[in-house]
Amino acid sequence: MSRTGPDYVESEAELHRDLDLKQKQGEISEETAQSFRDLYEFAKELGDDVRIGKAKNANFRMYVDAHQEDYHTNPSVFSANVSGLVKIWPANMPYRDNEQPPVTWDEQDYVKFKRSFQGLQGIPQGDQEVSFQTLVSTGNLDAFEAIVEEFVSTCRQRAD
């Protein structure tokens, strides 16, 4: 089954159109639409790449080269879907004792990132995801951006 086509948001123009339509139809508030736009702009400024697509709602993933380095699955730092979840992603799966880690940042850097994320209001202990609506309604969007910025800075420092 293909995850592309007219029902899927695949471009920046479609992302904005989807937000406008959902707001007009009362599915999301003006605050939610603007918050999603703000998070998208934040990701474009901080990230090395932002990709839209593969969902039926406004969505994107923010990629940072220093986060993924030589890790083979090309994970994003986080993904966001306006009608779904915001998820943070690790790039540090276990490796054998004799192998070099695929990234130069330490596993504890991600653990700190995850704990900071889980410290936001409305995020259950142990979760690496939260609904976008919860992130907005709890007033945690600025704090989330600060946590992401700190983690990305750490990844970039370790890569230098």
End-to-end CA distance of the chain: 41
What does the pLDDT look like over 53-71, one tens digit per residue?
Answer: 878 999 999 999 998 888 7
> How many Å apart are CA 158 and CA 106, to the nearest integer?
8
pLDDT band at 125; cut points 50, 70, 90: confident
> How confident is the model at residue 124, as a pLDDT?
80
Most confident segment among 71-80, 90-99, 115-124, 147-156: 147-156
- Sequence ranges of the domains in the chain: 12-159
* Residue 3 confidence (pLDDT): 43
pLDDT for residue 90:
77
How confident is residue 126, by pLDDT bands cut at 50, 70 and 90?
confident
What's the pLDDT band for 84 if we cut at 50, 70, 90?
very high
Evaluate if residue 5 carries a pLDDT over 60: no
Candidates 55, 62, 54; CA nearest to 84 is 55
Average pLDDT over the chain reads: 88
Helix/strand/coil for 9: coil
Q: Which residue has the higher pLDDT, 126 or 13?
A: 13
* Rounded mean pLDDT, 35-58: 95
What token pair was written down for 65?
A: 């080269």
Which residue(s) pair with 61 in the sheet? 51, 79
